[in-house]
Amino acid sequence: MDHKTKSMIENLRQNQGALKAILSSSDGQMLMRQLTNQDGGAALQRAARSASQGDTAELSRMIGKLMESREGVELIRRINQSAQK
């Protein structure tokens, strides 16, 4: 995962309003579907719990895996752009 995405994760962890706005967007909904389709969201819940305590490693791994596909890279790019606004 690149530095820009790691920075976005940290910024969103600290800015709950921006996180809610992104998650309510169509790209945010698509991201949630991608992150929860394997196990119904159990891994995402663990990663979110860890991230809320300052450990973003598991969440970073999940997003890194998502970015192994062209569609995932594009999705994260759009979310990064939205987070910068």
In sequence order, the 6+-apart residues with CB closer than 8 A to the CB of 1 are 60, 63, 64, 67
Question: Would you list the domain boundaries of the chain?
Answer: 3-84
Q: How far apart are CA 19 and CA 21, in angstroms?
A: 5
**Confidence band (pLDDT; 50, 70, 90) for 76?**
confident
Q: How far apart are CA 32 and CA 24, in angstroms?
A: 10
* Confidence at residue 2, expressed as pLDDT on a 0 to 100 scale: 65
The predicted-structure confidence for 4-40, as pLDDT tens digits, reads as follows 767 777 777 777 787 788 889 999 999 999 999 889 9
Q: pLDDT exceeding 90 applies to what percent of the chain?
A: 35
Q: What is the pTM of this model?
A: 0.73
Whether the predicted pLDDT of 1 surpasses 70: no
